[in-house]
Amino acid sequence: MLGYLAIGLEGTLIREENKQAFARAFGRAIGSLHIGIGRNMGRSHYVMASGTSLKKQISDIIEGGRFESVSYKKIEAACGLFWDTIAEEPVVMVPDARETLEKLGKMGIKVLVSSEMPPKLVSKMVHDLEIPVPGLVEMALGSKLGFPRSQHVDVFSKHCRVDFDSFCRKLVIAGINREDMLIANDLKRLSGTEYPISIGIKNASRSNKSLKIAGAEYLCSGLNTLPDAINEINNIWKL
């Protein structure tokens, strides 16, 4: 039986309206690099490419290989400015998110909230959303230099005191972003198995096709249908 879930924060538990704030913050961060790309172009790029990591988006938007001409220190500073700007924005939970987390808890699913945001910002947002940790979710992890999202599952497995391979066999990775699906693919390679299972959560501003191309094995129509999707997978896979 599936017993663990790693789920994204941005756009998955946080309402999509906040993505406009993310786009504005990205435009500001790009503008700070002074590479001839204005804030408006930066905002447009974020809306189109949202779902990939912040640093990859910065890399992609700098045309003609000019990424190498921008120092790593400046890129880190731009990322810091992005997250500092986001920290000033109000956050609102996706409708039914709390009820969904409660239902998952009743199913015996331990939930990890995994985010690209810095750890302090994740803690702030989880606090602002009144999500008790541990409680409604088991862990909430952010990312920083030397500790990317790809390492969160290993930390979660150790927290749950389950060896990594066994843990992956009972794990679901779910989110609205292709990055979530790519992380699931990386974990499959690490475990040498077809696990963890990946579920893309359909979203009006995301292409379902992009989730499938990124490796989503299942799609559910919204966050509120995720518990039913997990139950269905349990019945099909007979884990």
| Helix residue spans in the chain (DSSP H) | 18-31, 39-49, 54-61, 72-87, 97-106, 119-128, 152-159, 164-169, 178-191, 208-214, 226-237
Q: Which two tokens stand for residue 10?
A: 């941005």
The residues near 38 (Cβ < 8 Å, ≥ 6 apart) are: 27, 30, 31
**What are the pLDDT digits (tens) for 169-218?**
999 999 888 788 888 888 888 878 888 888 988 875 556 677 777 778 88
Query: 4-16+92-237, what's its fold?
Result: Rossmann fold (3.40.50)
The two tokens of residue 190 are 């690490």
Dist. CA 134–CA 195, nearest whole Å: 25
Domain positions in the chain are 4-16+92-237, 18-87
SS3 114: strand
Span 84-128, pLDDT tens digits: 888 887 778 888 889 999 999 999 999 999 988 889 889 988 888
pTM of the model: 0.81
First and final C-alpha spacing in the chain: 5
**C-alpha to C-alpha distance for 189 and 209, rounded to whole angstroms:** 22
